[in-house]
Amino acid sequence: MDVTVCRFAASRLLRVEIGIRKMLLQRTFWVVIALIIGLAVAKLHIVDSRPHRILLDTDVDTDDFFALLYILKLNRSEFELEAITINANAWTDAGHAVNQIYDILYMMGRDDIPVGVGGEGGILEDGTILPDVGGYLPIIEQGNSTAGGCRYRQAIPIGRRLDIDSNYGLRKAFLPQGSRKYSPLRQPTAQQVLIDKISAGPITIFITGGHTNFAIFLLKNPHLKKNVKHIYIMGGGVRSRNPTGCCPRNASSSCEPIQCGDRGNLFTDFISNPYAEFNIFGDPFAAYQVIHSGIPVTLVPLDATNTIPINEDFFKAFEKSQHTYEAQYCFQSLKMARDTWFDDQFYTSYSMWDSFTSGVAVSIMRNSHNKNGENEFAEMEYMNITVVTSNEPYGVHDGSNPFFDGHKVPKFNLEKGGVHSGHVQTGLRDPFCTMQNGKGRCQDGYTKEVKGSQGVRVLVATRAKPNPDTSSELDRAYFKSFLDVLNHPQQTGKFNFTTQFRYYKEVLYKPDFGSKKLGKPIVFDMDMSAGDFLALYYLLKLPVEVINLKAVIVSPTGWANAATIDVVYDLLHMMGRDDIPVGLGDIFALNQTDPGDCKYIKVIPQGSGGFLDSDTLYGLARHLPRSPRRYTAENSLKFGAPRNTDHPELRQPLALEIWDSIVKKLEPGSKISILTNGPLTNLAKIIRLRKNSSSVIQDVYVVGGHINHSNLDKGNVLTVHSNEYREMNLYLDPLAAKIVFESSLDITLIPLNAQRNASSFSKILQRLGRTNKTPEALFAYRLLSRLYRLQQTHHRYHHMDTFLGEILGAVVLAGDSFLNPILQIKPIKVLADGAESKDGQIVVDEKQGKLVKMLQAVDPVAYYDNFANQLGVNKQSAVIGSFDEQRRIWSAQPNS
């Protein structure tokens, strides 16, 4: 009944009552009843007219932002997206993911939606969950810091993470940049946002990544559970049969089926685990907590998403239907996903996963009176399921299960011999997980159907519904809805990166050195830690007649993720040096193979002071002007790609290719000096693969290494306690370091002690404050004062002077005579035998050690002066100071 009808009925009853006094009592009774009904209906109506509040927890993969944009385009009086939290232990890295979400929301005019990521809290040995746990690690790996292993995450190909972090290079080409961005210690954390939004009232949660954030929220805040009305999950496979990867019936014997008819979709991990799906495998224990929470759950597993693969007809229809910026962004991303897909089965194996889930969810919510989840897009069925978190036999301690191993009382008080007490898959090649016949037996992350109280009754999507319009080329009902909603002219994006500026113009800046005789050729090898960018500024400021920076090669085996290469391009753009090539190095340390087990890199924190900050340059990367050069996933058959993309002429140059091109163009008799500011992966590869390296390399300056002179004289790999005397750059790729230090190259080492001797924030800042205010001096001042402030504010930033020390190599290489460097020649050797307690350690070995020049100290005052003065020089200064300046230029009519 409608409210107005009801009110009308009530008022008519009133008039009747006035007319017939005889029946007064009876009438009054009816009036009261009618009024009550009226009020009740009115109240119901008010509740119903309020929009459904939604919180989306996402791992910011491509189809995640399909889902996000679909939700954002819905009528806001019906569905209101209240917040987004980011799952940071899956397909994307926190710093890149959060800024991409901010940019999408800016494009859509939704800067009001809070975004939560990270947090520095930990989980204690006894299972006590401290506030604000960041969710960078699955609960089983979670300890007191954000550094840790990758037992589940290694299923995600790390090379693919580069593509997702940068959205194949489209993110910075397409998305406009607003004022919101990650900023250290100011970023709302995932837990804060969850608590805020869930305590504010009834809400529905969508989870389209791993379950870590929400599980931690539930474990920590059980009293807020009552506000969560429903959880919609994309994840798992219950009865699914993977439709791809099988050899056709008449296939030749050379056909190698990747996987056939199994439940899961871990294409990197079928051999050990044919049951799990990526989202649930990301953190099986967390998914268990969520699904067993008692909150009503609807699951959209592979059972259903396998029935809505992106087929050629949909792809073509989408290509023709790009009437909004959001539709364009989605289509272009999808096209790159297709063009770079690893096999030829894109159209059968790339499904509408998260976006389909968002469609099913909102359609069910529209019919919320219906208990069986009827909806427009999927057939539903109740199933009794659980999430497998460990493998039988239970209660056997084999060292794989940190919830039980070494605990008298199991963590979180888990039941001894219970479902969580078996073998937990340790990695992709866990021998426990493969049976003798080669078949995988581990089930971690499997959303398994079970009988009785072991499981939970969950509404499960089983099939995508066909399009009722059978004449349409779109064969699924959701395909049509997705394209309609995304192309809807309302609540649409206002512009993209280029169209927001009336006078946008793409410019590449290249210097004109005229007839100057260029100085010593240098190649700078960096791992994109904060100090490396300062060293890069410094190298660019040295007179080209003295130092000629020929190339930058980056090692993503250190402090930053590969996608951070864009920050290098942006800095070069600022300095007018778009002529300097940038090469991307290998993603793995030398003695690791794909899939990597993160053996060394796990010592770097994911959160504050670690990847989150490096990937965003401590929140300052977005102040740099945006370069037209950036990482691109464009590729061609010629270079071994599965197929040509739209622009096969564009391709990300690799470190070794850049090296070769520099060597090729070298003037006769001239040699290159190399400065390494990160792990030695690139340099070791050059030595191994290029036999002429010793004849073209003049000398090498290695920033890193440590020789301790006393027990108190510790290194900087402080998250591994087995050996506290190592230095990070050598530790991160010990085998590479060993190769470099066994080579015949002329090496100058700038070890930790020399760096520490010259790493006073206050003194360098004092000098920078007094120098000429070039844009680069201002940026360096800003970055260093931020590092300094963070160091003083929060214990996670205690190591900030490590990055200040990184500038020293560039200054020593430049060779200012006022520095008074004291060098000592020492015979040294680097240990790299695969033993965690020794790898990366330097030992002095009089017999077998290689003689290396080791910097003992410089005059720190001269060093600070030199750095600050050089940055203040007007020559070779920035050609465009900042992103703001770039915006101003593109917004104003150019002169002439």
Contact set with Ca ion (CB under 5 A): 59, 61, 64, 208-209, 354, 527, 529, 532, 677-678
Of residues 170 and 424, the one with the C-beta less far from Ca ion: 170
CB of 476 to Ca ion, least distance (A): 19
Determine the Cα–Cα distance for residues 812 and 863; give it in Å rounded to an integer.
9
Show the DSSP H helices in 224-311 as ranges: 278-281, 284-291, 302-305
Of residues 391 and 529, the one with the C-beta less far from Ca ion: 529
Q: Per-residue DSSP letters for 509-542?
A: -----TTPPP-EEEEEEE---HHHHHHHHHHHHS
Rg (CA), the chain: 30
Give the residue among 158, 154, 73, 82 at the shortest CA–CA distance from 108: 73
CB of 58 to Ca ion, least distance (A): 6
CB of 363 to Ca ion, least distance (A): 19
Which tokens in the block code for residue 24? Answer: 């007064």
CB of 90 to Ca ion, least distance (A): 7
3-class DSSP state for residue 5?
helix
Of residues 308 and 424, the one with the C-beta less far from Ca ion: 308
CB of 248 to Ca ion, least distance (A): 30
Give the residue among 698, 576, 702, 672 at the shortest CA–CA distance from 627: 576
| Burial grade of 642 (CB within 10 A; 0-12, 13-18, 19 or more) | middle
Cα–Cα–Cα angle for 244, 245, 248, rounded to 5 degrees:
90
CB of 469 to Ca ion, least distance (A): 29
Of residues 764 and 880, the one with the C-beta less far from Ca ion: 764
Of residues 61 and 262, the one with the C-beta less far from Ca ion: 61
Of residues 59 and 430, the one with the C-beta less far from Ca ion: 59
Of residues 236 and 678, the one with the C-beta less far from Ca ion: 678
Give the residue among 297, 283, 312 at the shortest CA–CA distance from 138: 283
CB of 277 to Ca ion, least distance (A): 11
> Is-contact 489 73, C-beta < 8 A?
no
Of residues 209 and 775, the one with the C-beta less far from Ca ion: 209
CB of 531 to Ca ion, least distance (A): 6
> Is-contact 160 59, C-beta < 8 A?
no
Q: Residue 473: what are its φ and ψ, rounded to 5°?
A: -75, -15
Q: Residue 741: what are its φ and ψ, rounded to 5°?
A: -80, 0
| Pairing of the two strands 79-86 and 52-58 | parallel
Of residues 532 and 634, the one with the C-beta less far from Ca ion: 532
CB of 171 to Ca ion, least distance (A): 16
Q: Please state whether the peptide bond connecting residue 176 to the residue before it is cis, i.e. omega within 30 degrees of 0.
A: no
Of residues 58 and 876, the one with the C-beta less far from Ca ion: 58
C-alpha separations of 793 from 7, 171, 716, 788 in Å: 62, 33, 20, 9
> What would you measure as the largest C-alpha separation in the chain, in angstroms?
120
- What pairs with residue 828 in β-bridges? 844, 850
Of residues 278 and 403, the one with the C-beta less far from Ca ion: 278
CB of 207 to Ca ion, least distance (A): 9
Q: Residue 383: what are its φ and ψ, rounded to 5°?
A: -135, 155
CB of 733 to Ca ion, least distance (A): 12
CB of 583 to Ca ion, least distance (A): 16
Give the residue among 71, 631, 566 at the shortest CA–CA distance from 336: 631
Q: Per-residue DSSP letters for 790-833?
A: HHHH-GGGGGGHHHHHTTHHHHHHHT-GGG--EEEEEEEEE--S
Q: Please state whether the peptide bond connecting residue 466 to the residue before it is cis, i.e. omega within 30 degrees of 0.
A: no
CB of 310 to Ca ion, least distance (A): 15
Q: How many other CB atoms sit within 10 Å of the CB of residue 251?
A: 11
Of residues 234 and 459, the one with the C-beta less far from Ca ion: 234
CB of 655 to Ca ion, least distance (A): 15
Of residues 74 and 535, the one with the C-beta less far from Ca ion: 535
3-class DSSP state for residue 103?
helix
Of residues 60 and 672, the one with the C-beta less far from Ca ion: 60
Determine the Cα–Cα distance for residues 341 and 222; give it in Å rounded to an integer.
42
Nearest-10 crossing angle of helices 477-487, 325-339: 130
3-class DSSP state for residue 421?
coil
Give the HSE-up count for residue 745: Cα atoms under 13 Å, Cβ half-sphere: 31
CA 183, 184, 187, 190 dihedral sign is positive
Q: In this chain, which residue has its C-beta nearest to Ca ion?
A: 529
Of residues 598 and 810, the one with the C-beta less far from Ca ion: 810
Which tokens in the block code for residue 167? Answer: 């959205």
Give the residue among 490, 492, 484 at the shortest CA–CA distance from 107: 492
Of residues 680 and 868, the one with the C-beta less far from Ca ion: 680
C-alpha separations of 234 from 105, 416, 737 in Å: 22, 31, 43
CB of 821 to Ca ion, least distance (A): 20
- The residue assigned the tokens 């990526």 is 278
CB of 85 to Ca ion, least distance (A): 13
DSSP for residue 201: S
Of residues 62 and 774, the one with the C-beta less far from Ca ion: 62
C-alpha separations of 315 from 72, 320, 479, 642 in Å: 22, 9, 10, 19
CB of 375 to Ca ion, least distance (A): 20
Of residues 205 and 880, the one with the C-beta less far from Ca ion: 205
CB of 137 to Ca ion, least distance (A): 18
CA 404, 408, 411, 414 dihedral sign is positive
Determine the Cα–Cα distance for residues 583 and 205; give it in Å rounded to an integer.
42
